[in-house]
Amino acid sequence: MAYVDIVTALAILQFIVFGIKVGRARGRYGVKAPATTGHEVFERHFRVQQNTLEQMIVLIPGLYLFSRYFDPVWAAALGVLYLVGREIYAAGYVRDPAKRGAGYGLSAMPTLFLVIGGLTGAVLHAIGR
Amino acid sequence: MAYVDIVTALAILQFIVFGIKVGRARGRYGVKAPATTGHEVFERHFRVQQNTLEQMIVLIPGLYLFSRYFDPVWAAALGVLYLVGREIYAAGYVRDPAKRGAGYGLSAMPTLFLVIGGLTGAVLHAIGR
Amino acid sequence: MAYVDIVTALAILQFIVFGIKVGRARGRYGVKAPATTGHEVFERHFRVQQNTLEQMIVLIPGLYLFSRYFDPVWAAALGVLYLVGREIYAAGYVRDPAKRGAGYGLSAMPTLFLVIGGLTGAVLHAIGR
């Protein structure tokens, strides 16, 4: 389980770094709180962070469900794929929002796999197989 | 615990479906990333997804706290109520935001009950009853 | 672990209260759903709630990681610091967004400490120390 915990902590730290970039973009592009619009590049950073928040509520339970019914090492490996995919997603989105697709898929696919795997395992367990 | 895990996974998949609907509404109503405003119907789908994210940070820990101190089967049953309430909420919100109240209550009540139940159980445990 | 569970439940209830304040501000300042802009004070309440959501995806896993590898009582104590910091943050932000810094730091520091502590513990465990 330590591997899954490491991936969980790294995903949180990645999310915190995205948040720090939002804060810096606030200053650089003069978007004063509580506004979240007003400069295109700020909005890209903000959307990266917000979308990552949405992914994490999928990723973190998914990691633990998959670990419980299948294998923690495989869960952690899928989590590493997510981390890499998110970096590609974030870099792509900030450069050009139209090109965020590849990184998005690479980070969303492993999280979806974790959840569907966890669901399958839990159902098989509940019906006693 | 398998029942609680099944409900957790279903809530995540429901949230992913709401997210897919946001993506489709982006295309259909011409709201280009990173914008999150610009067309009323897109904004309804977006708010459904965002509000569901807010609910999930209540639901998922609530399910496990309630299971730990009370009963996993009851926790799962309250989670099913949440799932149904969210479907009603989402359908109502997209049709007419003014009528989102009933579905909202039906999904928020069980999550609140899970958290307050979990808190009560944890406090009773901490004071040794 | 009961102390950590109590702090988790209190953090969720604090988040729910911030959400209720957003709902009340909607009515008071005439910001009709699905809009999330239109009145400065509403937007402050909304940003408090949204930022708290971002903090909770850091706090809750952090509490459990730190508890697993170090100590649940210390984790809970850091969580209490977070709860106090969030109250100061919320009150400051609604009064004047420019003065949200102190409360922000007081709530973000303990959560960062929980995650980095949890990561350190998990890595030490994985390499067998």
A65-95 pLDDT tens trace: 999 999 999 999 999 999 999 999 999 999 9
**pLDDT > 90? residue C5:** yes
Question: B20 at the C interface (CB within 8 A)?
Answer: no
Chain A residues touching residue B18 (CB < 8 angstroms): none
Across the interface, of A98, A112, A118, the residue whose CB is closest to B5 is A118
Count of B-C CB contacts under 8 Å? 64
Quick one: what percent of chain B has pLDDT higher than 90?
A: 96
Quick one: what percent of chain A has pLDDT higher than 70?
A: 100
- Spell out the residues 6+ positions from residue C105 whose beta carbon is closer than 8 angstroms to its own: C85
CA–CA distance, A93 with A51 (Å, rounded to integer): 11
pLDDT in tens, A94-122: 999 998 999 999 999 999 999 999 999 99
> CB atoms < 10 A from the CB of A52, how many?
22
Q: Which amino acid, one-letter code, is at A107?
A: S
Across the interface, of A57, A118, A122, the residue whose CB is closest to B56 is A57
Residue B1: the pLDDT is 87
Closest Cα in chain A, distance from residue C58 (Å): 6
**pLDDT > 80? residue C129:** no
CA–CA distance, B10 with C98 (Å, rounded to integer): 41
Chain A residues touching residue B77 (CB < 8 angstroms): none
Distance, CA of A121 to chain centre: 22
pLDDT in tens, C81-105: 999 999 999 999 999 999 899 999 9
pLDDT in tens, B37-95: 999 999 999 999 999 999 999 999 999 999 999 999 999 999 999 999 999 999 999 99
Chain A residues touching residue B3 (CB < 8 angstroms): 126
**pLDDT > 90? residue A1:** no
Contact A8 C65 (CB under 8 A): yes
Question: A55 at the C interface (CB within 8 A)?
Answer: no
